[in-house]
Amino acid sequence: MEDIIESLKQQIIDSLNLQGMKPSDIDDNAPLFGEGLGLDSIDSLELMVLLERNYGIKIEDAREGRKILASVQTMADFIQANRKL
């Protein structure tokens, strides 16, 4: 799980072009949207593309996606349970 979290944080930084950020700057449980990293709806689309491209996981239901993309930890849990790549 630790490995997934570390690589996921780096992928998020690269994918969303979070300039000047390091994986250690992102709290595993902090919300990605709103108060935490302050991501927006376009970022959520980018994260869904990230999951599909890097882990072979497609999120079909938007309501489900909101829960999965809540934090790095929830994303990592989802990846561990569903990854195809």
Partner 1 sequence: MKQPLYLISSCSISPQHTYDAGQFLQPVMSCDNGKLFVIDADYAKYISPVAIRRMSRMLKIGITAGMNCIESSGVASPDAIIIGTAHGSVTDMENFLKDMIRLEEQALNPTSFIQSTYNSVNGWIAMMTKCTGYNQTYVHRGFSLELTLLDAQMMLAEATGTKYILAGSFDELTDEYHHIHRKINYFKQETFNSLALFDHYDTPGSIGGEGANFFMLSNEQGNAACAIHTIKMLQKPTSEELIAGINEALAENGLNSTDIDVMMCGMNGDSRSKHLADTLLNSCEPNTTITTFKQLSGEYYTASGFGLWLCDHLFQTQQVPEEIVYRKGSATPIKNTLFCNVTVNGCVSMMVVRRC
Interacting residues toward partner 1 by CB under 8 A: 15-19, 38, 40, 42, 45-46, 49, 52-53
Count CB neighbours of 47 within 10 A: 23
Contacts of 28 (CB under 8 A, 6+ apart): 5, 71, 72, 73, 76
Q: Which is nearer to partner 1, 19 or 24 (CB)?
A: 19
Minimum gap (Å) between residue 56 Cβ and partner 1? 10
Nearest CA to 32 out of 75, 61, 78, 81 is that of 75
From the CB of 3, what's the least distance to partner 1, in Å?
A: 22
Q: How far is the CB of 42 from partner 1 (least distance, A)?
A: 6
